[in-house]
Structure 1
Amino acid sequence: MEDEREQTPNEVIIPGYRYTCLKCETQDPVREALEEAQADQARHRQDAHSGMEPMVGDPIVEAEYDRKPALAEEDPPAPKAEDPVQLWQWIGFGIIVLIVLNFLFGK
């Protein structure tokens, strides 16, 4: 793709298409769609070359159509803090286990 200036990290280049006649040493503006550049090519061939294709060529090349600011990458979400298991929860669980064991095996 033809770049007229360097791409910076915070930009996104939007590609487009440009018709260029090498015989006439002319070029049309960059178009957003390939079909638009093809229409430019057909128009120029008809107007300047009686519908013929110049022997030196008249390519449609990819070129820079526009630049947009790059979307800022969102910070990844912070890991969800798990609720720490409290000491009293372990103590309560231990007491319940002791009561159940005492009930089952106690005499």
Structure 2
Amino acid sequence: MLLMLYFSILIILISNFMMFMSIILSKKTFMDREKSSPFECGFDPKSSARIPFSLHFFLITVIFLIFDVEIALIFPIINLFKFTNFFIWTKISFFFICILLMGLYHEWNQNMLNWTN
């Protein structure tokens, strides 16, 4: 047990030493003007490369991902039909789909599905 403790301490020390040496020996500069400026085929950019990101677009993509995962969870329910009782399968499927529909109704009620406000 003590040998394992020594080896783990040795591994942690070696890894910390290697990370420290890589930070010291690296030639990267974080505040380089040329690297932080946008590049458009060698020309100066016509407009700002830092355009504002639409928060509503982000929310729509999150909603899409959530419902995409829920659809992936529905597929195994179809295969469970062969192995379970019909009444139990119907009850579980109805409960799961009701939860999905309540979430969809909540998002529709909050006007999250409308692209324009």
TM over 0.5: no
Q: Which has the higher strand share?
A: 1
TM-score by length of 2: 0.22
Larger RCO, structure (CA 8 Å, separation 6 or more) = 1
Larger Rg: 1
Q: Which has the higher helix share?
A: 2
